[in-house]
Homo-oligomer: A and B are copies of this chain.
Amino acid sequence: MPGAEGTDKNKEKEVAEKASRLAGLKSHVLSNPVRLGIMVYLLSRGIVSFTSLQKVLDLTPGNLDSHVKTLEKAGYVIVRKVISGRPKTAIVLTDRGAREAERYLRELRETLDVLEGEKFNP
């Protein structure tokens, strides 16, 4: 069937394109799974305390701090000192952060969608 063969060729091209776009994410701030994890958590809550984020992600304070600083520098989050009883550090999602995280996750989803219906099925 020449038609089916054409479809295979298209599929192959599409997979190559997705692989290429994936590889192109290599210098993206969110290509680090810890930072993506932080953003995923923030997308559903908007704000989170440093200590509870540390617990959820099972990270040392130093490690989490370094990732939060990277996200802050990119403008994806704002770090705020909250003083109500014991002083706490809160991490707040920015509009830009929400937009970029959504874009990144959409990219991943599109890649997975292309792969569906391949012999491989995630």
Binary interface profile of A, 48-90, with partner B (CB < 8 Å = 1, else 0)?
0000000011110000000000000000000000000000000
CB atoms of B112 and A108 under 8 A apart: yes
Interface size class of A (residues with CB under 8 A): 35 or more
**Which residue in chain B gives the minimum CB-CB distance to A64?**
B23
Copies of this chain, count = 2
CB atoms of B106 and A120 under 8 A apart: no
Cβ of A70 to closest chain B Cβ, rounded Å = 13
Residues of A within 8 A of B (CB): 11-12, 15-16, 18-26, 28, 31-34, 36-38, 40-41, 43-45, 56-59, 98, 102, 105-106, 108-109, 111-112, 115, 118-120, 122
